């Protein structure tokens, strides 16, 4: 019997792709934009990577996620927010779920979802731009529970709608709600007062509220769960700064204010954790800051706040920089015309190199390389190199149009890229 089991296991091993890896939430399973897959194609054909499948989308900006052979993406059609499940390998639609919405973007951007879905076991969660949180069955799309966080906690519409992606910790789903005091929206958004529901933890199975914590408004960053000083810690880069909290109880551990002074400024990049150090970055004025939390005491290692305009180390917009061996790589700049790709020494904030005219872009790390997708659909493969910018391959993806603001997703050998109303699956790792 044992011999049979050994043979069966060997057959199963060869039957499954050796590079198999799901991408069930924002920035992948470790929420840092890093893929563990190997064997990518590095020399891309002139016409680009092989297209495996594509599909038309509604409006929105969120990347897809994958789990157990399924791909999930969120968008909007007409007056409905929609979550769709597909076969990840073929693009075949399995089911769709919709709910009506009246959300309008006050700045004129597309009123579709900003936050990607989150898959956890047999559930998939969707957070819409209007603040509606849904829990669905992954196999059927049937609604399990739903809560309108704006109606429950009240918040003034953030600049571009709700956009943070919730995080799962044990039996809890932790969501940045950013509730505020009721009343008319102030002329100056800086005058909005929080009501203690910066973060709300729900029972992921029932939707029951377990705790609310934090006098903080919502940003476009998403919470991360990490270990600092040997203790599990939640981090959320909210509208006004960084919250450190116990993810199971909501107890506040520390707070670090970090935000540009101008009213129309947002924090959007996730905190980058390296050991007991945390890197923050934004693009509206104050730039980057490296914090040391060793011993439980927060200390600034370096910051950009006293530097002159243009001299900041790292000013990431919506993209989260990626750490590799003591250096961080990211797209720095608020606008297309002033953006560049940078390598920054984590310990000092020194800029090691910058590649200008890269447009704003998002990075995903895989097999010793960064896959870079610019907002105009330029796809590049860049070798990890702290001494110079080393581009290996590049091409403009046919049919992919601005705005390509979703970070590339790598799952089971396929590279998923999203642009205006279109999703493409490209062969990044050859099938053997």
d(C-alpha 245, C-alpha 225), whole Å: 9
Instruction: Provide DSSP, 151-209.
Output: HHH--PPPTT---PPPEEETTEEEEE---B-SSSPPSSGGGPPB-S-SEEEEETTT--E
For 339-377, give one letter per residue: b (16+ CB within 10 A) or e.
bbbbbbebeebebbbebeebbbbbbbbbbebbbbbbbbb
Tokens at 174, concatenated? 């932790």
Q: Tokens representing 274?
A: 């390296």
∠ Cα 39 44 45 (to 5°): 135
SS3 278: strand
**pLDDT score, position 247:** 98
Delimit the domains of the chain by residue range.
Answer: 34-427
4 pLDDT band, cuts 50/70/90, is very low
Gap between the Cα atoms of 188 and 176, Å rounded: 22
DSSP for 258-273 reads ---SSSS----SPPEE
Q: What is the pLDDT of residues 203-262, one digit of tens each?
A: 999 999 999 999 999 999 999 999 999 999 999 999 999 999 999 999 999 999 999 998
Alpha-carbon distance of 203 to 64, in angstroms, equals 24
Query: For residue 203, which of 164, 173, 223 has the smallest C-alpha distance?
Result: 173
More confident residue, 135 or 308: 135
408, 361 Cβ separation under 8 angstroms: no
pLDDT at 1 over 90: no
Q: Tell me the Cα Rg of the chain.
A: 21
By CB neighbour count within 10 A (0-12 exposed, 13-18 middle, 19+ buried), where does 26 fall? buried
- pLDDT of 13 reads 38
pLDDT-derived band at 420, boundaries 50, 70, 90? very high
Give the pLDDT confidence of 12-62 residue by residue, as tens digits: 333 334 346 999 999 999 999 999 999 999 999 999 999 999 999 999 999
The matching CATH number, chosen from 3.20.20.140, 3.20.20.100, 1.10.540.10, 2.130.10.10, for 34-427 is 2.130.10.10
- Please tell me what DSSP assigns to residue 316: B
Residue of 196, 186, 112 lying closest to 156 (CA atoms) = 186
- Summarised one tens digit per residue, pLDDT across range 81-136 is 999 999 999 999 999 999 999 999 988 899 999 999 999 999 999 999 999 999 99
Strands 361-366 and 34-35: parallel
Q: Does residue 357 have a cis bond before it (omega within 30 degrees)?
A: no
Percentage of the chain beyond pLDDT 90 is 88
Predicted structure pTM score: 0.94
């Amino acid at each position: 019997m044992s011999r049979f089991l050994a043979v069966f296991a060997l057959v199963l091993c060869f039957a499954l792709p050796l590079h198999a890896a799901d991408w069930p939430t924002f920035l992948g399973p470790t929420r840092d934009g890093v893929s563990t897959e190997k064997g990518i194609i590095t020399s891309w054909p002139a016409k680009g990577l092989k297209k495996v499948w594509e599909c038309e989308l509604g409006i929105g900006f969120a990347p897809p996620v994958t789990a157990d052979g399924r791909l999930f993406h969120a968008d909007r059609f007409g007056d409905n927010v929609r979550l769709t499940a597909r076969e990840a390998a073929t693009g075949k639609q399995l089911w769709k779920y919709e709910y009506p919405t009246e959300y309008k973007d006050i700045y004129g951007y597309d009123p579709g979802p900003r936050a990607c879905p989150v898959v956890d076991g047999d559930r998939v969660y969707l957070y819409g731009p209007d603040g509606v949180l849904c829990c669905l069955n992954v196999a059927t799309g049937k609604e399990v529970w739903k809560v309108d966080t704006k109606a429950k906690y009240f918040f003034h519409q953030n600049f571009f709608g709700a956009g943070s992606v919730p995080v799962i910790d044990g039996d809890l789903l932790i969501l940045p709600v950013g509730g505020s005091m009721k009343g008319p929206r102030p002329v100056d958004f800086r005058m909005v007062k929080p009501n203690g529901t910066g973060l709300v933890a729900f029972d992921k199975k029932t939707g029951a509220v377990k705790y609310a914590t934090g006098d903080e408004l919502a940003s476009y960053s998403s919470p991360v769960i990490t270990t600092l000083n040997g203790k599990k810690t939640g981090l959320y880069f909210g509208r006004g700064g960084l919250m450190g909290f116990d993810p199971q109880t909501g107890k506040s551990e520390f707070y670090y204010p970090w935000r540009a002074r101008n009213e129309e400024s947002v924090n959007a990049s996730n905190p980058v954790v390296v050991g007991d150090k945390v890197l923050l970055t934004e693009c509206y004025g104050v730039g980057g800051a490296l914090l040391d939390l060793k011993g439980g005491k927060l200390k600034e290692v370096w910051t950009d706040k006293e530097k002159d305009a243009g001299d900041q180390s790292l000013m990431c917009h919506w993209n989260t920089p990626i750490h590799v061996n003591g250096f961080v790589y990211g797209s720095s700049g608020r606008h297309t015309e002033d953006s560049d790709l940078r390598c920054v020494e984590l310990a000092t904030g020194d800029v090691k190199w910058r590649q200008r005219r890269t447009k704003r872009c998002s990075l995903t790390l895989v097999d010793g390389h960064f896959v870079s997708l610019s907002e105009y659909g330029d796809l590049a493969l860049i070798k990890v190199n702290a001494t110079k910018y080393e581009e290996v391959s590049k091409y403009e993806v046919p049919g992919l149009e601005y705005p390509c603001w979703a970070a590339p997703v790598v799952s089971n050998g396929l590279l998923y890229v999203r642009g205006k109303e279109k999703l493409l699956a490209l062969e990044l790792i050859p099938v053997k």
